[in-house]
Amino acid sequence: MIPFNKPPYVGNEMNYIQDAISKRKICGDGEYTKKCNAWLEENTKTAKALLTTSCTHATEMAALLADIKPGDEVIMPSYTFVSTADAFVLRGAKAVFVDIRPDTMNIDETLIEDAITDKTKAIVPVHYAGVGCEMDTIMDIAKRHNLCVIEDAAQGVCSKYKGKPLGAIGDYGCYSFHETKNYSMGEGGALLISDADNIERAEIIREKGTNRSKFFRGQIDKYTWVDAGSSYLPSELNAAYLWAQLEKSDVIFEDRMKTWNAYYAAFKELAEQEKIELPFVPEECEHNAHMFYLKTNDLEERTQFITYLKEREIAAVFHYIPLHTAPAGVKYGQFHGEDKYTTKESERLVRLPLYYDMTEEERDKVIEAVIDFYKNR
C-alpha cells in the first residue's frame, strides 16, 4: 500500500535524541530547541521564533498575545483545520467565516472588509497547501482597521509570498511540525513574533505565565508568576528530532518538489482536457510542495476516484469539512456572506500521496492509476 503520508526521517534523528538524553536535558528550551529557534529566526528574519508543543498551541499563544476576549470576532476561512478556530473560541471569541478563492483555496481577500464590525479584533489568513494568501491586501485592510493579523502557516514552512517567508508577514505566524508536515517532530509547532516589543510577554505566556526565561538568562534573581499562561514548551527529544530535518531542509524541500513537479507534468493533459483541475500557484508565491491535490468534477466522482485508487493500494484522501457546517462551527461561529465556493470546492478536492523519500516507482504507480481512472471519462 502506498500511504498518503510518511513522517520524514533523514538519518540523524536518533543520534540527536541520544545526544540530548546523554546530556541529561530532555525538558524544554535545551540546546536543540535553541538550534531550531535560531534556524527559524535566520530563515524567516522574524524578531523571535519560539518552538511550541503544537501549531494549535502556537495559535493559542497568539490569541492571548492579541488580547482576544469574550465577545470579540475573528475573521478566517471556513475551509481550515479546527485548530484555527479553536484557539480563539477558547478565548470566548466568535469565528466569522468568509468564503474562499476557488483557485488557491485560500481566504478571499476581497470579502474580508465587508465582514469587519466594531467587534472584530483579528484576521487569520490560512496558507492552504503552502501557497500564500494575498497578504498585501490583507495587511492593508488590517492596518486601516487596526486589526491584528495572525498567519496560520501550519503548511507554509519554507514557502514565500513576494519573497517574504509565510508566517513572518503578519503580527504573528504559526507553524506546524506535526508528522504530516514537511518537517516534523511528531507533535510540535512554532510561534513567530514580528514585533520585538511582544517577545517578553510571549516568553512569559509560554512559561506558564512566569518570567522564568529571564531568570535562566540571569536577568533577574528569581522568577515568579506575572501573567496568565500555560506550558507550551516541547520536549528536547522532539526538538532534537526536528533539528535533524531543519539542517537538511533543502534536501527535503527538493525531494518533495521533485514529486510535486512530476505529478503536475503528468496530469497537465488531463487538466487541458478539463477532466480535472490542478493546483494553482500565483506568480508572486513560492510554494513548498506540502501537498499535491487535484479537483474532480464533483463529490460522486471523487468518491469513485478514492475507491479506485484504494483498490490499487494507493491511499488518496479528501481534506477539511468546512467548519461552518460542523456542530461546533454553528455554535461558535457564523458564515458571513455567501458560501459560493467553500463547500463546493471542498467536495471536489482530493490529495495524492506525497512524502520525503518517495520512490520513483511509487510515484509512477500513482500517476498511472490516476491516468487510468480518467482514460475513458
Those residues with Cβ within 8 angstroms of residue 256's Cβ, 6 or more apart along the chain or in another chain: 182, 288, 289, 290, 354, 355, 356
Interatomic CA distance for residues 302 and 347, integer angstroms: 8
- Amino acid 245: pLDDT: 97
Chunked into runs of 10 residues, the chain (377 residues) has average pLDDT values of 97 97 93 98 98 98 98 98 98 98 98 98 98 98 98 98 98 98 98 97 94 75 84 97 98 98 98 98 98 98 98 97 97 98 98 98 98 92
Is the CATH number 3.30.420.40 carried by domain 13-246?
Answer: no
Q: pTM of the full predicted structure?
A: 0.96
- Amino acid 324: pLDDT: 98
- Amino acid 278: pLDDT: 98
Q: Identical fold at 13-246 and 249-374? A: no
152-185 per-residue burial string, b: 16 or more CB within 10 A, e: under 16: bbbbbbbbbbeebbbbbbbbbbbbbbbebbbbbb
339-355 per-residue burial string, b: 16 or more CB within 10 A, e: under 16: bebbbebbbbbbbbbbb
Closest listed residue to residue 154, CA positions, set 108, 95, 87: 87
- Using DSSP bridges, classify how beta strands 293-295 and 172-176 pair: parallel, antiparallel or unpaired: unpaired
C-alpha cell at 75: 475573521
**What CATH number belongs to 249-374?**
3.90.1150.10
- Amino acid 150: pLDDT: 99
How many Cα atoms are found within 13 Å in the side-chain-facing hemisphere of 91? 28
Interatomic CA distance for residues 28 and 50, integer angstroms: 11
Q: In what order do the strands lie in the sheet with 48-52?
A: 48-52, 189-193, 172-176, 148-152, 120-123, 73-77, 94-98, 333-335
Asked if 119 and 125 count as a contact pair (C-beta separation under 8 A), the reply is no
89: buried, middle or exposed (CB in 10 Å: 19+, 13-18, 0-12)?
buried
- Amino acid 78: pLDDT: 98
Interatomic CA distance for residues 137 and 144, integer angstroms: 11
Angle made by CA atoms 85, 253, 268, in degrees to the nearest 5: 85
Interatomic CA distance for residues 91 and 63, integer angstroms: 7
Interatomic CA distance for residues 275 and 185, integer angstroms: 38
Asked if 320 and 343 count as a contact pair (C-beta separation under 8 A), the reply is no
Please state, in angstroms and as integers, the Cα–Cα distance from residue 33 to each residue in 53, 176, 233, following that order. Answer: 11, 15, 9
Interatomic CA distance for residues 199 and 201, integer angstroms: 6
pLDDT in tens, 84-117: 999 999 999 999 999 999 999 999 999 999 999 9
- Amino acid 284: pLDDT: 98
- Amino acid 377: pLDDT: 82
- Structural domain boundaries in the chain: 13-246, 249-374
